[in-house]
Amino acid sequence: GAGVSQSPRYKVAKRGQDVALRCDPISGHVSLFWYQQALGQGPEFLTYFQNEAQLDKSGLPSDRFFAERPEGSVSTLKIQRTQQEDSAVYLCASSLALGREWYNEQFFGPGTRLTVL
Amino acid sequence: DAKTTQPNSMESNEEEPVHLPCNHSTISGTDYIHWYRQLPSQGPEYVIHGLTSNVNNRMASLAIAEDRKSSTLILHRATLRDAAVYYCILMNYGGSQGNLIFGKGTKLSVKP
């Protein structure tokens, strides 16, 4: 079956441009996460959705970052007025859910590599 | 979630076992130990997880110390495809929404 897909795989933007990154999670997965991975570092949490509800956006680095998942499936991460420090790989992950006593693994997409010139 | 400590890098020879250590001295009684790995140019992938008992699956084994302050991921026969960054992550299910807190991980190199 299809895994998590992300598009585009690569994006080059000029400083100040707006970008939109798309994530198609595995069908039926309730939880969706966005992570940012700088070069040589581990991924860092950005935001979390449970179905269409954005329950945690504490990791978004500034108000230029905005994420949505309007129908509880596809999600879009938008970055307005991109800056050079936004250059990173943006990873999307989905999972069935997280229960109090069980764990459903997160399935990651291949990521979108954003380069801001 | 409690912090983990891993070596920055390790080397292994192909077809030999690999033991990847992780220290988590501040682990709480309800923290589960998870391992993910990230192959070059790919997103992370789940490897294994456990609470107290040792765990085995088709990818690896997880050995957990009796005091739970450390654990070891064991790859029984390393292949070139196992070259990746391995992350040891703690998670308390009851107090978490599920987002993973990655450190820098251990970069495993496998020599032919």
Give the three-class secondary structure for A116. Answer: strand
Average pLDDT, integer, range A8-16:
98
**Where residue B97 falls among pLDDT bands split at 50, 70, 90?**
confident
The mean predicted confidence, pLDDT, of chain B is: 93
Average pLDDT, integer, range A92-100:
83
Cα(A43)–Cα(A39) distance, integer angstroms: 10
From B32, B43, B101, residue closest to A110, measured CB to CB: B43
**A71 — contact with chain B (CB < 8 Å)?**
no
Partners of A45 in the β-ladder:
A35
**Where residue B94 falls among pLDDT bands split at 50, 70, 90?**
confident
Whether the pLDDT of residue A104 is over 90: the answer is: no
Phi and psi at residue A105, in whole multiples of 5°?
-60, 150
Whether the pLDDT of residue A98 is over 80: the answer is: no
Measured between CA atoms, the residue of chain A closest to residue B95 is A100
